[in-house]
Amino acid sequence: MTYRWKPSVTVAGIIEKNGRSLLVEEHTPKGLMFNNPAGHLDPGESPLQACVREVLEETAYAFTPTALVGIYLSRFSKPASPDDPDEDITYLRFAFTGELGAHDPTRKLDTGIVRTLWMSMEEMQASHARHRSRLLIRCAQDHARGIRFPLDIIYTDAGVYQAGGPA
């Protein structure tokens, strides 16, 4: 059987308010790191739905995407651990901007998330050694440059929402 390469599809919320970006601090194998509110696309959901879900799970804020900032391809080498071999992982990230809604202070943050925080571009650049993804700063820079694409540029076929739908 031939190996078929498949990137991991992820989404991220690029959320800015008063010159500061909403980030999360999370536990990783490399220690506490900063990231955009982000995560994997789950079966049965569109990239937009995944982003709304991930922002809520990681920050306890409601989020309404209004534009696509960009689509990013990144490669990551996960070193071997005592339990797992090394891995060569490629991420395909859909980064969205939008309107931040209400915060639910009673909502528990997703497993591994320590806290949310707001950072300026300068603070993000100064903390680059603690970025979980190299895409964190690139997405923030593209957002600051005003890069926006309409949401309808991303089409999700109805079969995605059906169990056992067409391939």
Q: What is the pLDDT of residues 26-77, one digit of tens each?
A: 999 889 999 999 999 999 999 999 999 999 999 999 999 999 999 999 988 7
Model confidence at 150, in pLDDT bands (50, 70, 90)? Answer: very high
Domain assignments of the chain as residue spans, ordered by start: 8-153
CA distance 128 to 106: 31
Coil, helix or strand for 141? helix
Higher pLDDT, residue 23 or 164: 23
Q: Say how far apart CA 72 and CA 69 lie, in whole Å.
A: 10
The answer to whether 133 and 145 are in contact (CB under 8 A) is no
Whole-number Å distance between alpha carbons of 58 and 110: 5
Q: What is the pTM of this model?
A: 0.90
What confidence category does residue 80 fall into, taking pLDDT thresholds of 50, 70 and 90?
low
Of residues 80 and 66, more confidence is placed in 66
In angstroms, the CA 159 to CA 11 distance is 20
- Among the listed residues 46, 36, 20, 40, the one whose alpha carbon sits nearest the alpha carbon of residue 137: 36
Rounded Cα–Cα distance for residues 37 and 136 (Å) = 10
The mean pLDDT of the chain is 93
Confidence of residue 158 (pLDDT cuts 50, 70, 90): very high
> pLDDT class for 164, splitting at 50, 70, 90?
low
Return the CATH number of the domain spanning residue range 8-153: 3.90.79.10
**Mean pLDDT confidence for 117-143:** 96
Where would I find the H helices in the chain? Answer: 47-59, 121-126, 135-144
**Cα distance between residue 156 and residue 62, in whole Å:** 22
